[in-house]
Amino acid sequence: MSEGIITAIISAVASLIVAYATLHVQIKKDREKSTEEIKSLLDKHREEYLGKISDVKGDIQGVKDDVLTINANVQQQVAIIEVKIETLSERVDKHNGIYDKTIALQQDVALHEEKIKVANHRIDDLEHKAV
């Protein structure tokens, strides 16, 4: 083979190697750039989500505080209701005692009325016999 052909082949092979190396370097740079962009996006989204998670944690704490306040208010209202129920229970007991006494008095009055009737009949009988 002639020296010119060998030189052309070597030159072509060298050009291909340079082109391949250049392409390889460019692909590597593009891959690194894409990787950096993806990392940047991931970092950005991570920060956004961490911020949102922080907001949600704050909201949950707010709800927890509200629930604790409501629970304290409910317990206070329950204590007031228990006192009122106790007071009403005492009043009902007094009323029941008065009612029982009233029934007993009514029975006593009925008994005494009956005795008075019997006594009046005896008096009438004695007055009619005496006449």
Tens of pLDDT, residue by residue over 1-27, are 688 888 988 898 999 998 988 999 999
Which of the pair, 126 or 98, is modelled with greater confidence? 98
CA 113 to CA 119: how far, in whole Å?
A: 10
Backbone angles phi, psi at 12, to 5 degrees: -65, -45
3-state secondary structure of 131: coil
| 60: Cα within 13 Å, side-chain hemisphere | 6
| CA dihedral of 26, 27, 33, 38, whole degrees rounded to 10 | 170
- The structure's pTM equals 0.48
